[in-house]
Amino acid sequence: MRLRILWELIWVGVPIGLFSGLEIGFFLVITFWMGTLGTEVLAAHQVVFQTIVVVFMVPLGISYATTVRVGQWLGQRSRIGIQQAAWVSMSITTVFMVGVSIAFLLFPKQIVGIYLDVHNPENAAIVAIALPLLIIAAIAQVLDGFQKAVYGSLQGLQDTQIPMLLNVLGYWGVGLSVGYILGFWFNLGSIGLWIGQSMAIATVAGLFTWRFRKLIAHQTLN
CB-CB contact of 138 with 105 (8 Å)? yes
**pLDDT for residue 177:** 97
Q: Tell me the torsion sign for CA atoms 82, 85, 89, 91.
A: positive
The Cα 76–Cα 88 span in angstroms is: 18
- Assess whether pLDDT exceeds 90 at residue 8: no
Model confidence band, residue 21 (pLDDT cutoffs 50, 70, 90): very high
pLDDT digits (tens, 9 = 90+) for 212-221: 999 988 765 5
Pairwise CA distance, residues 158 & 81, whole Å: 16
Query: 128-177: per-residue pLDDT in tens?
Result: 999 999 999 999 999 999 999 999 999 999 999 999 999 999 999 999 99
Cβ atoms of residues 139 and 105 within 8 Å: no
State the burial class of residue 24 (Cβ atoms within 10 Å of its Cβ: 0-12, 13-18, 19+).
Answer: exposed
Question: What's the rounded Cα separation, in Å, for the pair 143 and 150?
Answer: 10
Q: What is the mean pLDDT of the chain?
A: 94
Q: Name every residue whose Cβ is closer than 8 Å to that of residue 118 and which is 6 or more positions away in sequence.
A: 109, 112, 127
Query: How far apart are alpha carbons 194 and 49 in whole angstroms?
Result: 10
Report the helix count and the strand count for the chain, using DSSP H and E.
8, 0
In this structure, are residues 19 and 167 in contact, taking their beta carbons and an 8 Å threshold? yes
pTM: 0.94
Q: How confident is the model at residue 118 (pLDDT cuts 50, 70, 90)?
A: very high
| In the predicted structure, residue 1 carries a pLDDT above the cut 80 | no
Amino acid identity at 4: R
